[in-house]
Amino acid sequence: MIEATIRRSRNDGGILSFEMTGHADFAEHGRDLVCAGVTAVVFGAVNAVIALAPLEPILDIGEDGGYFYFEFPEAADQEALQKAQLLIEGMIVSLETIERDYSEHLRLTANQI
């Protein structure tokens, strides 16, 4: 199962970071539609943040494809941060849609810190 954790600020509810671990195990490697969908949504959103915000997030991507970490930089321009927040909120909506249909393969949780 892919576990995705969204960390939000207690102060304003803004996204601070997100982390994904695990594998969907929906089908064999190369045929796993849940994995492909989640990967496309996440990488598309992160690429959009970098290209459109523009903002350089802190990223850590696992070698085997089972780990992804994204964090907003602390010293980000407020306008860029607003754009990036909206893009990542869109990513979350897409992941929630996948989770609704494939809850045995993707679980989203949100924490406030």
Whether 35 is catalytic: yes
Q: Evaluate whether 2 touches 108 at the Cβ level (below 8 Å).
A: no
pLDDT band at residue 49 under the 50/70/90 scheme: very high
Q: What pLDDT is stored for residue 113 in this prediction? A: 87
* Cα 62 to Cα 97: distance, rounded to the nearest angstrom: 24
Residue 36 host element (H or E): helix 33-52
The strand pair at 106-112 and 58-61 is best described as unpaired
Residue 93 host element (H or E): helix 78-101
Selected catalytic residue, list 7, 8, 23, 107 = 23
pTM: 0.93
Q: 18: which strand partners?
A: 6, 70
Q: What pLDDT, in 10s, does the model give residues 53-93?
A: 989 999 999 988 899 999 999 877 999 999 999 999 999 99
Selected catalytic residue, list 35, 46, 55, 88 = 35
Closest CA to 38 of 90, 104, 94, 84: 94
Q: What pLDDT, in 10s, does the model give residues 7-47?
A: 999 999 999 999 999 999 999 988 999 999 999 999 999 99
Whole-number percent of the chain with pLDDT over 70: 100
